[in-house]
């Protein structure tokens, strides 16, 4: 039996689940978790949500089918379902040791997922885990509508950069099409997702953009957000979401980097690329990970040191890989 079928069967056969996703959850982590929660509700199952970082403010407009615990909940469960987590370290404090891997289901789309569960449904070509939960819902005979569909749409639209990245497949569009047929109000959805900014956030992005720079013969764009900039504009790390895309849009840029200073000597890195450049490999060599065109990681050093290190790695990668030859085909 394929893992996908095995997971559908397990969901039918059991009643109590623990649902979790990676720390600092993005739209896919939250959307797939909420979507699966709504799916379980429809089947009359019980479940508990856990995410160490909680629900980010920018997703607070979604209907939660259960309370989001930020401490490992003590409720009994028969199966833990871990979503969008390609790396055990990203589960959050102690969860890796707390989980009984024999009672764990791992649903993910990251290359190199260590397949830590009893059942591991890992498909790196999928746009998002939300897409995979939508397929699961269809396997279980459900229509893609209501709050379940809204959550899954969030997962797909955020992990594909509004259906623009190369991870957007034909099936991503057909699921989106089913969700629209199921009655999703796009106008309201998009205003919730995209019309959330504060003026302070606009100022933060403006100031960060002003100091963006190019390196490595203009093939690499870098944008930095020192803690001071967040203090100055009255913003927080969540407000920095998406800044990396500004340098990714510059003509000729193959790799875009953002470095955000979360606290002293803790720098969050985001990497983005177009086409052949494998930023997952670069992030991996720096202790992080992700996808071919979108990856990240954390440095425990100063901003200046992190900048030097990431630029050095990227230069090595660009000068050794086949990207230069392939680049002409993908622009």
Q: Which residues bind Mn ion (CB under 5 A)?
A: 28, 84, 159
Residue 273 binding ligand 5GP, by CB under 6 A: no
Among 290, 307, 314, 323, binds ligand 5GP (CB under 6 A): 290
Residue 27 binding ligand 5GP, by CB under 6 A: no
Helices (H), 43-121: 95-98
Residue 37 binding ligand 5GP, by CB under 6 A: no
Residue 323 binding ligand 5GP, by CB under 6 A: no
For 185, phi then psi, to 5°, come to: -85, 100
Task: Please give the Cα distance from 15 to 35 (Å, whole number).
Answer: 17
Q: Are 183 and 145 in contact (CB under 8 A)?
A: yes
Q: Are 105 and 81 in contact (CB under 8 A)?
A: yes
**Nearest alpha carbon to residue 278 among 49, 71, 112, 48:** 112
Residue 221 binding ligand 5GP, by CB under 6 A: no
Give me the least distance between CB of 122 and ligand 5GP, in Å please: 13
Residue 288 binding ligand 5GP, by CB under 6 A: yes
Among 296, 303, 314, 318, binds ligand 5GP (CB under 6 A): 296
244 contact partners, CB below 8 Å, separation of at least 6: 223, 256, 257, 258, 270, 271, 272
Among 21, 113, 160, 270, binds ligand 5GP (CB under 6 A): 270
**Nearest alpha carbon to residue 83 among 146, 7, 5:** 7
Give me the least distance between CB of 93 and Mn ion, in Å please: 21
**Nearest alpha carbon to residue 56 among 182, 242, 203:** 242
Give me the least distance between CB of 2 and Mn ion, in Å please: 21
Show the site string, 159-188: x = touches ligand 5GP by CB under 6 A, - = not.
Answer: ------------------------------
Q: Which residues bind ligand 5GP (CB under 6 A)?
A: 26, 86-87, 90, 110, 270, 288-291, 294-298
């Amino acid at each position: 039996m394929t893992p996908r079928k095995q997971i559908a069967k397990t969901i039918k056969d059991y009643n109590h689940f623990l649902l979790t996703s990676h720390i600092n959850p993005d739209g896919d982590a939250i959307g797939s978790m909420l979507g699966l929660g709504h799916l379980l509700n429809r089947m009359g199952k019980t479940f508990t949500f856990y995410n160490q970082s909680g629900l980010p403010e920018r997703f607070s407009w979604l209907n939660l089918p259960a309370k989001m615990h930020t401490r490992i909940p003590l409720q009994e469960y028969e199966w833990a379902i871990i979503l969008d987590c390609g790396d055990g370290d990203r589960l959050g404090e102690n969860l890796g040791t707390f989980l009984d891997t024999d009672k764990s289901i791992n649903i993910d789309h990251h290359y190199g997922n260590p397949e830590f569960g009893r059942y591991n449904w890992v498909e790196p070509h999928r746009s998002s885990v939300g897409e995979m939960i939508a397929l699961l819902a269809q396997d279980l005979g459900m229509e893609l509508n209501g709050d379940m569909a809204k959550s899954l749409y969030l997962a797909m639209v955020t992990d594909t950069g509004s259906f623009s990245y190369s991870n957007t497949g034909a099936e991503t569009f057909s699921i989106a099409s089913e969700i629209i047929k199921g009655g999703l109000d796009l106008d309201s959805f998009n205003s919730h997702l995209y019309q959330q900014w504060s003026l302070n956030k606009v100022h933060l992005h403006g100031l960060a953009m002003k100091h963006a720079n190019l390196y490595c013969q203009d093939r690499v764009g870098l944008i930095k957000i020192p803690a001071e900039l967040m203090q100055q504009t009255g913003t927080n790390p969540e407000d920095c979401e998406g800044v990396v895309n500004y340098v990714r849009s510059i003509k000729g840029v193959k790799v875009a980097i953002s470095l955000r200073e979360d606290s002293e000597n803790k720098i969050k890195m985001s990497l983005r690329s177009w086409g052949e450049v494998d930023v997952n490999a670069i992030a991996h060599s720096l202790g992080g990970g992700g996808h071919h065109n979108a990856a990240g990681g954390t440095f425990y050093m100063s901003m200046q040191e992190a900048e030097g290190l990431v630029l050095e790695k990227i230069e090595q990668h660009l000068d050794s890989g086949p990207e230069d030859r392939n680049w002409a085909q993908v622009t």
